[in-house]
Amino acid sequence: MEVADLPAVLEPLAFLLGTWSGAGRGAYPTVDDFTYAEELTFAWPGKPLLRYTQQTWVGDTPSHAEVGYVRPLAGGAELVVAHPSGVAEVSDGPLDGTRLELVSRHVVTTPTAKEVRAVRRVYERRGDVLWYRIEMAAVGQPLGFHLEAELRPT
């Protein structure tokens, strides 16, 4: 849909709209460093929010996925996202131009999920690139680097 069709409340988040793909790198104290391919989509479903879907692959093998919603706030946004690993996040944070920083308020896990205590996400549009960085506090580790990627429109 045209950006002009967006509700005014979503205009500050319009820089996220589209399907983005590319490569990233990951690390965490409890796993070996890795690289991955990714496809991420922010779409407007006709309501005053954005639908978020994400899928990664290591080689030809699906690795991770997330689904959720980005909801606008005055001066920022909130993210509600679910992982198939049994983790659900509720995050919010400020928007500064084309940089959105989200910090978890609540992370909930199912009884069979690995422990995750906190997540910090930064999404930033840099020209035709959507860059992001994710930090995580999980499995007894403090908040620290987990993922970073540069994605381009597809």
Q: What is the pTM of this model?
A: 0.95
- For the stretch 59-116, pLDDT in tens is 999 999 999 999 999 999 999 999 999 999 999 999 999 999 999 999 999 999 999 9
Are 51 and 43 in contact, with CB atoms under 8 Å apart?
yes
